[in-house]
Structure 1
Amino acid sequence: MIVTLIIVCEVGFWVLLAAGLALRYPAGMPRLGAAVLLLEPLLEIVLLAVTAVDLKNGAEPDWKHGLAALYIGYTVAYGHYTVKWIDGHAAHRLGGAPPPPKPPRHGTARARHEAGLWLRTVLAAAVAVALLQLAIWYVDDASRTGPLTDWQLSALRLVGIHGVIALTYTIWPKKPPAAGAATGTERSSSMTKN
């Protein structure tokens, strides 16, 4: 039941997002669209409540409860960021707004951007680990909570992996293309003229 609810929450996220954006831009009802977008967090509250009730009713803590905690953590950390990104593109395509700024591609600015994304992953993991710890205390039986502890370790591993990836942008920053540098085809055509 928990896995089905996670899928329903994910589908619901995209349905509410599409409905909110359709109301904001093509329908010209920005306030109603914003109100629909604000319903997004209710999905996670429902998932959290159902997971708690499932554990309270004696369900064996397993990977489904861990996945629910990770999903909620991800939504807390990346949900607003995702909605804002998609809203910017919808405003451009459907509302005539200028295109949203793209993330930086080079140097220190790109490293800062990647560090910011990593901090979102840290927040997602912190929320997931905290929810899992609450579940562990709630179940209060070390012989049954092993899968929840495993999910806590998985969340921390994700933080470590993403941290290494983000760090590579600081250690080996991508250099911007040299200003006025000719491309390969421009160079070869100029050589054939000479």
Structure 2
Amino acid sequence: MFKDMMWKAAKATNVPYHEASMQKIKNVSVDAYDALARLDRKKWTRLVDEQKKKMKIKGIVGPNVSKPFLEPLRGPTFWRKIPYPDILPPELCVLLGRPKKCRQKDETELREIAEKQAFERAKKEKADGVIKVSRKGNVIHCKICGAPAHNTRTCPLRSDMERQRQAGQFSSQPTPVSEIDAIPSRPQPQTQPPTNSAT
């Protein structure tokens, strides 16, 4: 067990991992930890001094360009140890209600999206050769009574027909031709005869 822990500490290539391995050895045996701590790290570990550059750049421009660069950190493990308490993140505040699917768009962005959709729709209609006309402004008519502004679902005569069907007056047989003629159809517009302006 000590052999595996010692080799793990020796194979560590950075200081945080090496110190974590040494801490595990210290938890098991303090004497083994003190014996390894007295040795020179350069002789029995693979630690690399991260402060030194791996490649020396010569010249006038190269060293000056690389001088102000910040050294990136790979995670909280590599943060520098300080004697102060850790800064905790703010508390997570969960808002009430269902989250929005999309962010709130600006008016100009909504206008651009509408124009793009209209352009794509016109392009598709042109490719298909079919132009779709909007049904906006068309007046619907009921197929039962022929009146405008409502359909068969909201027709007032539908409840009477369902009541008669439940009473047995309506059957599954086709309706005779004489009864079909009695059903009111869609009202036809009345045309007045042209008046003779000469008389």
**What is the TM-score normalised by the length of structure 1?**
0.22
Larger Rg computed on CA atoms: 2
**What is the TM-score normalised by the length of structure 2?**
0.22
More relative contact order, 1 or 2 (CA 8 Å, 6+ apart)? 1
